């Protein structure tokens, strides 16, 4: 990985870009509070519209990018961002796996547009909503819907120290064990995606006695087949099992494959 912080005497330039998304991952950075103020003193924020700084064409040493690529305009714009950025980080489920927008890849988007818009011929979209990596080289990924503030600041601190960030691929179940949270599947019979989902949120849903929704995407070595059978054993029909995988991270390869298997659909 390139080191964006070795820039001589000047402060490194940081840009935050938005594509098709809800802005939640940008808010995770804004929620850093005093840490964000310290960061602003260590870097030069050259583009971050939510923070009041707008310069889409600015050159950046590090670009944090939120959102999926869903339109022809976005496909062109992400290429320009890549050209102007020494290091590009995909931030959140939309940027890393297509996010909720990728659900339209499972159906006929033209039919949806005809049902929603009175003049759908004016709507220009790509044939599928895809993650940034389908269009440009991505140097690092931060998963989550949304990412959390700790993730973003830990990444930036690691880069400032000149060390490679560490991927959080451990399973969500480990966070539940460490926090002393009773397994919601064992104790309550709740369907839970924790056994195949990467940790990152601090087990928010299990802490509230709810099953995990897989916001952080597939964990390393995710055994989706075993979990699918366990969900079926809990009483979920095959279509319901498929929907558990084809949700926030539906375009992540392990979840996409599991969703096709349980829904009986072939790979497009």
Q: How far is residue 61's CA from residue 78's CA, in Å, rounded to a whole number?
A: 15
182-221 burial string, b = 16+ CB within 10 Å, else e?
A: ebbbeeeebbbbbbbbbbbbebebbeeeebbbbbbbbbee
Residue 168, classified by CB atoms within 10 Å of its CB into exposed (0-12), middle (13-18) or buried (19+), is middle
Question: What is the model's pLDDT at position 268?
Answer: 52
Question: What is the model's pLDDT at position 64?
Answer: 96
Q: How far is residue 19's CA from residue 24's CA, in Å, rounded to a whole number?
A: 12
Question: What is the model's pLDDT at position 161?
Answer: 80
Question: What is the model's pLDDT at position 54?
Answer: 95
Local mean pLDDT, 10-residue blocks, the chain (268 residues): 73 94 92 83 91 94 96 97 97 96 88 86 91 97 92 85 83 94 95 96 94 95 96 96 95 94 75
Question: Model confidence over 157-166: pLDDT tens digits?
Answer: 888 788 888 8
- 13-160, what's its fold? Rossmann fold (3.40.50)
pLDDT > 70 in the chain, percent: 97
- For the chain, the structural domain boundaries read 13-160, 172-263
């Amino acid at each position: 990985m390139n080191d964006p912080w070795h820039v001589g005497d000047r402060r490194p330039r940081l840009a935050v870009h938005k594509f098709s998304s809800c802005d939640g991952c940008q808010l995770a950075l804004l929620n850093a509070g005093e840490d964000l103020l310290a960061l602003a003193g260590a870097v030069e924020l050259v583009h971050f519209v939510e923070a009041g700084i707008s310069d889409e064409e600015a050159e950046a040493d590090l670009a944090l990018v939120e959102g999926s690529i869903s339109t022809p305009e976005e496909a062109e714009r992400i290429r320009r961002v890549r050209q102007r950025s020494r290091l590009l980080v995909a931030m959140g489920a939309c940027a890393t796996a297509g996010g909720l927008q990728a659900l339209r890849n499972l159906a006929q988007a033209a039919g949806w547009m005809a049902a929603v818009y009175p003049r759908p011929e004016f709507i220009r979209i790509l044939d599928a909503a895809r993650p940034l990596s389908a269009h440009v080289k991505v140097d690092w990924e931060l998963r989550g819907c949304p990412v959390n503030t700790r993730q973003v600041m830990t990444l930036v601190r690691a880069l400032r120290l000149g060390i490679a960030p560490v991927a959080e691929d451990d399973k969500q179940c480990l966070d539940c064990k460490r926090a002393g949270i009773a397994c919601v599947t064992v104790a309550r019979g709740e369907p839970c995606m924790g056994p195949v989902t990467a940790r990152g949120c601090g087990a928010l849903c299990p802490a509230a006695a709810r099953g995990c929704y897989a916001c952080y995407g597939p964990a390393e070595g995710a055994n989706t087949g075993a979990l699918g059978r366990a969900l079926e054993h809990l009483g979920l029909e095959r279509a319901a099992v498929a929907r558990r995988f084809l949700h926030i991270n539906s375009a992540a390869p392990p979840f996409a494959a599991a969703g096709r298997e349980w829904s009986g659909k072939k790979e497009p």
